[in-house]
Structure 1
Amino acid sequence: MTTTFDRFDAAGARRIRDTVRSVYERAYVDAIASGDPFEQPGAFMERFDAYTDPARPSGFELVVAAEDAEPVGQSWGWPLGVRSGWWGGLRLDSGDHEEFTVEDGHRTFALSEIMVAREHTGRGLARALHDELLRGRGEQRATLLVDPGNDRAYDRYRRWGWHRVGTLRPSWPDAPTFDVLVLPLPHNGR
């Protein structure tokens, strides 16, 4: 099986919106079936549309993994700008909140999503998507939010070098409280 990775900016991501939704629906089967309003495809796509909104600051990047030309996974994120709302509601475990949340568009890359269609899990695709999205980033660090009850994802992130710095509940409707993880990035630029 041949795995390929394709990169898309915000405009390109919007053009493959149906693919993004399809991968989500195949990756989050159980979460969708739970009935949780935050996990429903419509709510997910509202968030995706906001992330890729042309009025939003640039920098959004989507990586799609395909096996034999079939999209089977995706990951995306963007650099946090000066006016980013990402840190709203952050509760740090320790340290200076103000210093930690200062952004300039080059300090922090927000890794928003990693997902693999259920029928393709267990073969290292999540790690490959993670590494492909973060490869060559120029920011000092990356951050992501993880459900503290998702032991499988949490354990993987820890093995990949991420560490917890606090908690945060996003402002999205029905959003749960997540643990905030951070990963220092090498300064190799793009």
Structure 2
Amino acid sequence: MTSLLEGLEFEHCDAAAARSIRDTVEDIYRRSYVQAIASGDPFDSPSEFMRRFDSYTDPRNRGFAYVIARVDGKPAGQIWGWSLPENARWWTGLNLDIGDDLEEFTAEDGTRTFGLSEIMVCTEYAGRGVARALHDELLGSRTELRATLLVEADNERAYQRYRAWGWHRIGWLRPGWPDAPKFDVLIRDLDLAVNEK
């Protein structure tokens, strides 16, 4: 594992640069979500995934940040997200676990919260520290106060890792995408990303 991580290289991209490697983004998805794609769930189909990617990398999404990890020049994984703008749709349908003021909790100004949308590692590199390295590389570069992500409650492997990486559940929601599942909403203070490196 150490030799793999020592050879890991990262490239940071904005939305336009990420779109320019769209074929690579889809290839990494296909090599990472083999079982999900094979399940036949329309939400996990490569075409639906790439439709979502295209909407995330819309040129108007100026807070978009993407990192690709390579091993010996070969794509090994990727991660992306964006700064949540004022009136962010990310929080639509949020049901908080505790009695916090929903309006105050979801108030955004483009600098408060980073929405971590995707993290994936190609199956041949899974379990070798690449996901954590991608996670730390992207979040360590952010200036927002906190980060949020969505995870399916029954995805025990991912959930366990997110908890170990400092994330905690604050509620749940179901996004407005076609065939979207119900997700748990997790939060993490971003100063942890720096302090735990």
The C-alpha deviation readout for 1:28-73, integer Å capped at 9, x for no partner, is 000000000000000000000000011x230101100000000010
The C-alpha deviation readout for 1:152-175, integer Å capped at 9, x for no partner, is 000000000000000011110000
- Residue 83 of structure 1 and its aligned partner are, at CA, apart by 2.8
Q: Which residue in 2 is equivalent to 1:64?
A: 68
- Residue 185 of structure 1 and its aligned partner are, at CA, apart by 1.1
Query: Are positions 1:177 and 2:178 aligned together?
Result: no
User: Which residue, 81, 96, 117 being the options, matches 1:77?
Assistant: 81
- Residue 101 of structure 1 and its aligned partner are, at CA, apart by 0.4
Letter of the structure 2 residue corresponding to residue 59 of structure 1: G
What's the secondary structure of 1:105's corresponding residue? coil
Query: Are positions 1:20 and 2:62 aligned together?
Result: no
What's the secondary structure of 2:136's corresponding residue? helix
What's the secondary structure of 2:52's corresponding residue? helix
Q: Name the CA distance, whole Å, in 1 between partners of 2:58 and 2:144.
A: 22
What's the secondary structure of 2:91's corresponding residue? coil
Q: Name the CA distance, whole Å, in 2 between partners of 1:42 and 1:83.
A: 28
- Residue 84 of structure 1 and its aligned partner are, at CA, apart by 1.6
Are 1:57 and 1:81, in contact at CA under 8 Å, matched by a contact in 2? no
What's the secondary structure of 1:65's corresponding residue? strand
TM-score (norm 1): 0.96
Q: Which residue in 1 is equivalent to 2:42?
A: 37
- Residue 75 of structure 1 and its aligned partner are, at CA, apart by 0.2
What's the secondary structure of 2:40's corresponding residue? coil
Q: Name the CA distance, whole Å, in 2 between partners of 1:128 and 1:154.
A: 17
Letter of the structure 1 residue corresponding to residue 115 of structure 2: A
Q: Name the CA distance, whole Å, in 1 between partners of 2:30 and 2:61.
A: 27
Letter of the structure 1 residue corresponding to residue 178 of structure 2: P
Q: Name the CA distance, whole Å, in 1 between partners of 2:11 and 2:85.
A: 25
Runs of 4+ in 1 over 6 A off after TM superposition: none
Q: Which residue in 2 is equivalent to 1:48?
A: 53
Q: Flag the structure with higher helix content.
A: 2
Are 2:87 and 2:107, in contact at CA under 8 Å, matched by a contact in 1? no
User: Which residue, 79, 102, 106 being the options, matches 2:107?
Assistant: 102
Q: Name the CA distance, whole Å, in 2 between partners of 1:84 and 1:160.
A: 25
What's the secondary structure of 1:86's corresponding residue? helix
Q: Name the CA distance, whole Å, in 2 between partners of 1:136 and 1:152.
A: 25
The share of aligned pairs that are identical, in percent, is 62
Q: Which residue in 1 is equivalent to 2:15?
A: 10
Q: Which residue in 1 is equivalent to 2:93?
A: 89
- Residue 136 of structure 1 and its aligned partner are, at CA, apart by 3.0
